[in-house]
Amino acid sequence: MELFLEQTLNGLQSGFTLLMISSGLTLIFGMMGILNLAHGSLFMVGAFVAADIGARTGSFTAALLAGVAGAALAGVLMETVVVRFLYDRDHLDQVLATLGLVLMANQGVQMVWGIAPRTVTRPPWLEGSVSLFGLDYPIYRLAIIAAGVATVVVLWWLIHRTKVGMWIRAGNTHRDLLGALGVNVSLLYTGVFALGAALAGFAGVVASPYLTVEAGMGDNFLILSFVVIVIGGIGSIRGAVYASLLLGLVDTWGQTYLPTVVGRLTDPSTAAAIGSSLASASIYLAMVVVLLMRPQGLYGAPRG
């Protein structure tokens, strides 16, 4: 039971991390119709900047702020120099140009920070663990969950309760009309892109104490957030929330329990290997099930 509770919390933690990345991606797609493969690179940039500033200052807060700001800045640069010329292009051009950005970013971080992997350390004030129903659980992981919940609340408030949010919702469907009403749509796009980048950078910083900060570290998160978007429905933040948590839980539970289940059938070492690849496959199986039942995703508008 304790194991189940622990793994559930771990699953929620990785789900919320995924949510921070995929909500930005889906927001950007919903608004500008652009598929940004370099979104995972923004996650990576956030982590690298945080590792650098963290090592210089020793302060996690400074590292976090710098990481988020660095990713947002990289996002603004990306949008103004490359991405804004892709809005009217087809998906193939978008994929290739943003793939170019991925290659540049992966090499770029190595040119700036070298090839040695780096680390981000947890702040001392989030060290240690608390007792939850008899389970000692790391405070830092709980803090990630709290940050994820806060992200959802703030995003909801921003999109549904503010004027900017109104523009964002209007821009999803009536871009030209919005411009005709005097809103600077181009600036709004840059802003939304920066917001998505900042969210990805935030995720990169808070997740990196559990990861190695290295080139390409965002790639798998990018692909996972694609799975989130396919499951949740494109452009739907609500879908992204549910799908992220679902994937986080399915993956973590799978990694924990599948090797045990397979272990009943075969010897331990093979069981570990098979169980772990089954667990990796489980999130894609979840995607396949959604594709079969509801190709437009849980909260996507029906196609055609």
Partner 1 sequence: MAELPEQSEADQPQAEQNQVEQSHASAPLSVASRRPMVVTVLVLAVVGVAPVLAGALGFDYLLGTLTRAVILGMAAVALDYVVGYGGLVSLGHALFLGTGAYTAGILVLQHDAGTGLGTDQALLAWPLAMLVGAGFGWVLGALALRTRGVYFIMVTLAFNQMMFFLFNSLAAYGGDDGVRLSTRDRLGPLSLDDDSVFYYVCFLLLVVVVVVFNRLVRSPSGWLLRGARDNELRLRSVGANTRRHQLAAFVLSASVASLAGALAVNESQFLSPAISHWTESGELLVMVIIGGVGSVVGGVLGAFGLLVLEELAIEFTDDWQFFVGLGLIVIVLLARRGLAGLLLGGHRNV
Q: Which stretch binds partner 1 (CB under 8 A): 83-91, 146-154, 169-177, 241-249?
A: 83-91
- 223 lies in the site for partner 1, by CB under 8 A: yes
> Is there a contact between 131 and 67 (Cβ–Cβ < 8 Å)?
no
Please tell me the distance from the alpha carbon of residue 165 to that of residue 178, in angstroms, as a whole number: 13
- Rounded distance between C-alpha atoms, residue 207 and residue 194, angstroms: 20
Q: How far is the CB of 275 from partner 1 (least distance, A)?
A: 10
Identity at 145, one-letter amino acid code: I
Q: Give the interface size with partner 1 as a residue count (CB under 8 A).
A: 45
Q: In angstroms, what is the minimal distance from the CB of 134 to partner 1?
A: 35
Q: What's the rounded Cα separation, in Å, for the pair 130 and 132?
A: 6
Q: Does residue 77 bind partner 1 (CB under 8 A)?
A: no
- Using CB under 8 A as the binding rule, whether residue 59 contacts partner 1 is answered as no
Nearest one of 223, 275, 224, 276 to 247, comparing CA atoms: 224
Q: Per CB under 8 A, which region of 69-77, 196-204, 223-231, 244-252 contacts partner 1?
A: 223-231
Q: Given the DSSP bridges, would you call strands 135-138 and 129-132 parallel, antiparallel or unpaired?
A: antiparallel
Q: Which of 181, 217, 287 is closest to 46 using CA atoms?
A: 217
The rounded distance, in Å, linking the Cα atoms of 119 and 55 is 9
Q: At what angle do helices 219-232 and 39-57 cross, to 10 degrees?
A: 130
Rounded to an integer, what distance in angstroms lies between the CA atom of residue 52 and that of residue 26?
29
- With CB under 8 A as the contact rule, the residue among 5, 7, 8, 29 that binds partner 1 is 29
Q: Cα separation of 239 and 27, whole Å?
A: 11
Least CB distance to partner 1 at residue 16 (A):
21
Query: What angle in degrees, to the nearest 10, is found between the helix axes of 2-32 and 237-263?
Result: 140
304 binds partner 1 (CB under 8 A): yes
Site string for partner 1, 152-181 (x = CB under 8 A): ------------------------------
Q: Which residues in 87-106 contact partner 1 (CB under 8 A)?
A: 89, 91-93, 95-97, 99-106
Q: Which residues pair with 130 in a beta bridge?
A: 137
Q: How far is the CB of 287 from partner 1 (least distance, A)?
A: 6
- Under the binding rule (CB under 8 A), the answer on residue 146 touching partner 1 is no
Q: Tell which one of 7, 8, 35, 142 touches partner 1 (CB under 8 A).
A: 35
Nearer to partner 1, 58 or 100 (CB): 100
Residue with tokens 């570290």, as numbered in its chain: 217
| Residue 287 in contact with partner 1, rule: CB under 8 A | yes
Does the footprint of partner 1 cover residue 291 (CB under 8 A)? yes
Residue 114 binds partner 1 (CB under 8 A)? no
DSSP state of 152: H
| Residues engaged in binding partner 1 (CB under 8 A) | 29, 35, 37, 82, 85, 89, 91-93, 95-97, 99-108, 110-111, 219-220, 223, 226-227, 229-230, 234, 273, 276-277, 280-281, 284, 287-288, 291-292, 295, 303-304
